[in-house]
Amino acid sequence: MSHISLLTSINSTGHIHLIIGSNPLAAARCAKSLEVGAKPLLIAPETTELHYALQKRIDNGEVEWLKKPFEDEDVLRLGREEINGVVDAVFVTFGPRDPLSAYISQLCRRNRIPVNVSDASSLCTFSLLSTHTDGPLQIGVTTNGRGCKLSSRIRREIASCLPPNLGAACARLGTIRQRIQEEDHLTHMALSGDLDDEDSIDQTSTFNKLVTEADLDAAKNRRIRWLSQICEYWPLRRLANITDADVESVLKLSASNPSTSTTLDTTNHDSRTEMKGRIILAGSGPGHPDLLTRATHKAILTADIILADKLVPSGVLDLIPRRTPVHIARKFPGNAELAQEELLSLGLAGLKAGKSVLRLKQGDPYIYGRGGEEFEFFRREGYGDVVSVLPGITSALSAPLFAGIPATQRGVSDQVLICTGTGRKGKPTVPPEYVDTRTVIFLMALHRITGLVADLTSWESEDAKVLDGSGEVDRSRRLWKKETPCAVVERASCPDQRVIRTTLEFVAAAIEEEGSRPPGLLVLGKACEVLNKPDNGRKWVVEEGFKGFDDFEGTGLQELVLGGKEERSDVIGRGGSYGRDLKV
């Protein structure tokens, strides 16, 4: 049976750490020594090429470089004066194959000096843990030399499960613990008669009551036991959000009602946390409900209020429980800003009422979804700490896929550019120049497709014309060729999806003849013809319908998460009316 390590926490403030080597690991060891308050001494010959991070710390005066080879007496004379010059720890960064590593290890062992040799657990008397640090909270993981990468992975997994602000809570609880100990010590002295109160005139009714040792112990330990109960039984997320007001109320309760000090009811604390308002900015994907993320689907089922964009498809809205109030954005030409302000006002009102508000957007909230603007708005209103953002599958990347267009393809397209065809307040944007190996996706552009084609294929178009210093038209921008393949993809992933395959020359005429079916986007570039060769002699080809999930019939999001249709008939499924709470 192999022995395990004794894990300890060492106060290294003021210690002398000897780092031997000049590689990136030596830089990391110096950084760790500085982090814990120790003084790192670097030993490396003057001719050695130092890692840039080491050189920077030396130049800043953080690390002292002893420009010489290692000598035996270094470990016995470079340390602190109070321990006769012996160094506190030695870090060897050469690795196990260097003979000097084994030699230094044996030297340190003989002198009982802690030594660490990189990638050589047999030469080490101690090892550094993979550590998560949050204020006074430190969590360390070791595999005892079996794999530092695995230690890092486990540490990251553990840290990801911890609530935010837990380190600050540890600091607050530590201060409380110290305060309790100091106050209880004074109380103990008062009860035992060790404190003189010269200003006291009247005596209390219990002045002559016999004070037993049990009374002293009970008074001394009551609140510290209560604090222990809090640390043990409160949910970590509630503990991480503990406030000074919580502390005062708990201390008063424990002092006035000692009989409750052995149990703890956290119901009120949990409900208060849950009742705190929050807002979720979530993307609903391109259209098909099976393309929702599980996180967004959960948010739909649990929200108190849902504020949805106008273009969120009915298949997604059908998932909203009937009991949930829904407001659909009243966005139409000329009213977009007022509709946006209305949504923000409704969201703010919900937050102030302690509600869970879901701001449901099409696609991804941060890809032309104004999600960043809304985050800033709620942060300015003081709710930045309760805003969550959930990603969605953006149509900019999924619509080309559903149309059989690989946005990138070796030898054809090595870059993707996502643009908007309409800027702020409806103004056109600067068109991108032609790049032979680029695929460009235009969102919100089909309503001005004629102007967009003119912007891309000419310098003199009214919206894209740029004048140089002499007043002449700037012709430096590379124009797009009119024969460039393109595709219009409308209502991607919805049953009525439509794809129009054509070229830049005929795309405006195709949309005018076939009509518009929003929301839609334009894909431009040679990638449009990689998997779908052009039909010679035809200006455009129209493809109707979406059959992308036919092979997965019966295993969609609703069936997988909620069970069969019979089970969820009363939970979701607004049908055509979306229920009485729907407000448009």
Residues 362-406: pLDDT tens digits?
Answer: 999 999 999 999 999 999 999 999 999 999 999 999 999 999 999
Question: Does residue 433 or residue 229 have the better pLDDT?
Answer: 433
Low-confidence winner among 110-124, 247-261, 307-321 (lowest mean pLDDT): 247-261
Q: For the sheet with 498-503, list strands across it.
A: 415-420, 438-443, 520-524, 485-490, 498-503, 541-544
Q: What is the pLDDT of residue 265?
A: 42
The per-residue pLDDT of the chain, averaged, comes to 83
Separation between Cα atoms, residue 430 and residue 561, nearest integer Å: 44
Q: What is the pLDDT of residue 148?
A: 80
Residue 227 near residue 176 (C-beta atoms within 8 A): yes
Residue 43 near residue 19 (C-beta atoms within 8 A): yes
Q: What is the pLDDT of residue 213?
A: 57
Separation between Cα atoms, residue 52 and residue 392, nearest integer Å: 41
Query: For residues 186, 188, 194 and 196, what is the CA-based torsion angle, rounded to 10 degrees?
Result: 50
User: pLDDT, tens digit, for every residue of 69-119?
Assistant: 999 999 999 999 999 999 999 999 998 899 999 999 999 999 999 999 998
Residue 196 pLDDT class (50, 70, 90 cuts): low
Q: What is the pLDDT of residue 275?
A: 52
Separation between Cα atoms, residue 575 and residue 297, nearest integer Å: 18
Separation between Cα atoms, residue 92 and residue 27, nearest integer Å: 12
Q: What is the pLDDT of residue 267?
A: 43
Retrieve residue 166's tokens.
């837990």
The closest of 84, 89, 117 to 103, measured between CA atoms, is: 117
Separation between Cα atoms, residue 498 and residue 476, nearest integer Å: 36
Q: Is the pLDDT of residue 272 over 70?
A: no
Retrieve residue 7's tokens.
């894990």
Question: Does residue 315 or residue 137 have the better pLDDT?
Answer: 137
Residue 391 near residue 296 (C-beta atoms within 8 A): no
Residues of 194-221 as b/e, b for ≥16 C-beta within 10 angstroms?
Answer: eeeeeeeeeeeeeeeeeeeeeeeeebbe
Of 55-59, 563-567, 578-582, the range with the highest mean pLDDT is 55-59
Q: What is the pLDDT of residue 582?
A: 41
Q: What is the pLDDT of residue 141?
A: 94
pLDDT, mean of residues 410-415: 96
Question: Does residue 572 or residue 148 have the better pLDDT?
Answer: 148
Residue 55 pLDDT class (50, 70, 90 cuts): very high
Separation between Cα atoms, residue 91 and residue 42, nearest integer Å: 10
Instruction: Label residue 75 left, alpha or beta by phi (over 0 means left) and psi (-120 to 50 means alpha).
Output: alpha
Low-confidence winner among 404-408, 440-444, 460-464, 565-569 (lowest mean pLDDT): 565-569
Q: What is the pLDDT of residue 554?
A: 52
Q: What is the pLDDT of residue 360?
A: 96
Q: Is the pLDDT of residue 424 over 80?
A: no
Pairing verdict, β 278-283 and 39-44: unpaired
Residue 207, C-beta contacts closer than 8 angstroms, at least 6 positions apart: none
Retrieve residue 45's tokens.
């010959």
Retrieve residue 55's tokens.
């050189």
Residue 267 near residue 298 (C-beta atoms within 8 A): no
Residue 466, C-beta contacts closer than 8 angstroms, at least 6 positions apart: 459, 473, 474, 477
User: pLDDT, tens digit, for every residue of 206-256?
Assistant: 444 554 555 556 655 666 777 777 777 677 887 888 877 776 766 665 555
Separation between Cα atoms, residue 396 and residue 394, nearest integer Å: 5
Q: What is the pLDDT of residue 174?
A: 87
Separation of CA 54 from chain center: 31
User: pLDDT, tens digit, for every residue of 465-521?
Assistant: 888 878 888 888 999 999 999 999 999 998 889 999 999 999 999 999 998 888 899
Retrieve residue 478's tokens.
């590379």
Q: What is the pLDDT of residue 386?
A: 94
Separation between Cα atoms, residue 20 and residue 16, nearest integer Å: 13
